[in-house]
Amino acid sequence: MKVNPDLDFIKYMKSAGGDALKKCYQCATCSVVCPLSSDTKPFPRKEMIWAQWGLKDKLIADPDVMLCHQCGDCTAYCPRGAKPGDVLGAIRAYAYTHYGFPSGLAKMVSSAKNLPLIVGLPALIVLIMWILSGGMHVPSAEDLARYGFGHFFGHWDWPWLTKNVAFIDMIMVPAAGLAVYSAYRGVSAMWAAMAKQHDVNAGYRPSVNQFVQQFLWPAVTEIIQHNRFRECKANANRVTGHLPLMLSFIALLFVTAYSAFTQDVLGIFFPSLHGPMSMINPVKIVANIAAIALIFGIGVLWSNRAAAEAESGTTPTFYDWFLIYEIMAVGITGLCAELGRLVGVPVLAYFFYYLHLVSVVMLFLYMPYTKFAHLVYRTFAMAFEKYRASEFVTK
């Protein structure tokens, strides 16, 4: 077998948290202690070999890389301190950049040196739209109490769509659309690479409905239930942080959809719905509970990450910390904006609302290129794992 190592890939691995890679001497302890590794498909030992050899193409087409939950068991028991979990995390970070579209944006988000641009671009977009809307002013305490943030981008008398929502849509829809398209392209490319590497030849292709029912939905269900997370031993309390965080995102998605429907559809016939939602509205209660759960969950993960770096020598990386900071920013700015509105301080309310919009744009826009991308890549890797073992694939 002829090995052509990708030296640039190895350098990237070292910079992205896989700096202990060369300490591995293939004792296979990591594969033995990993609760997710099977006898027929042991990992992360084979990934450590491939990474040492610089076999980038094999690694980014390996579903096991995405199936790793980085629970820390392998790192805790490694006799050489090679940190296999960190190495696989670095491989995932590389894969998100490799599969990202457009490539320039994906590469920009992968490096800490670009942080001013990463934050500045969404901040400038929101600021420009705020200026163009003509609504760039601080309201009176009375208007803030009456309209909430419904006039942040100004107001017009057209009943079909409020001006505020129109401008928010002009910002958020393209950002979310690009993220969805990029994720689709990336997952499609990853699936094709995995199928080629593992010689998966479909006897006949499942329909979309069959694929969703038999492979995708079971993967989603397993993720929601956190079955694989619960098998981890060294960092078992990750479920304490990850589960409320995931549930908070689901709840906030529901609240956003409900708000959009009531204000932009029902609001046509009932203009009173355009105002801020009552604090005793059940949906508002769900929103506030979800916001607290989001802050709590990311706080636990923040604490876990800091402890891992202090106690286990885990390498601090931009890849890991950026998402933690970003999600915390979404939660804190949203909560502070709401508190500013409730206590009737328009300057603080609008300031934090602007920061909240910026942080939400960042979350949407950069989803396919950051650690948040595991939301889709891991899901489809699990679906591929189930598909590969199905009757659709010729053995």
Question: Do 273 and 262 meet the contact criterion of CB atoms below 8 Å apart?
Answer: yes
CA-CA distances (angstroms) from residue 172 to 125, 168, 266, 284, 365? 11, 6, 21, 21, 9
d(CA 139, CA 127): 17
Q: What angle do CA 252, 371, 15 make, to 5 degrees?
A: 155
Domain interval for residue 58: 7-99
Task: Indicate whether 63 and 145 sit together in one domain.
Answer: no
Is 1 a domain residue?
no
User: pTM, whole model, 2 decimals?
Assistant: 0.89
Shared domain for 180 and 323, answered yes or no, is yes
What are the tokens at 179? Answer: 């993220």
Quick one: pLDDT at residue 304?
86
- Count: domains in the chain: 2
pLDDT in tens, 102-156: 999 999 999 899 999 999 999 999 999 999 999 888 999 999 988 889 899 998 8
**Same-domain status, 132 and 241:** yes
Judge whether residue 1 has pLDDT over 70.
no
Residue 395 located in a structural domain: no
What sign for the dihedral angle of Cα 31, 33, 39, 43? negative
Which residues are within 8 A (CB) of 351 and not within 5 positions of it... i.e. 6 or more apart? 340
- Whether residues 74 and 128 fall in one domain: no
pLDDT cut 90: percent of the chain above it: 50
Q: What is the mean pLDDT of the chain?
A: 88
Output the six-digit token pair for 212.
């969703």
- Report the alpha-carbon distance of residue 94 to residue 96 in Å, rounded: 6
CA atoms of 361 and 125, how far apart (whole Å):
9
Residues 85 and 154 in one domain: no
**Domain membership flag for residue 138:** yes
Same domain as 315, residue 209: yes
- Same domain flag for 346 and 269: yes
Residue that wins the pLDDT comparison between 83 and 92 = 92
Amino acid at 70: Q
- Do 54 and 27 share a structural domain? yes
Among 99, 131, 165, residue at a domain's last position: 99
pLDDT in tens, 211-234: 999 999 999 999 888 888 877 776
| Residue 29 structure tokens | 């302890």
- One domain, residues 237 and 270: yes
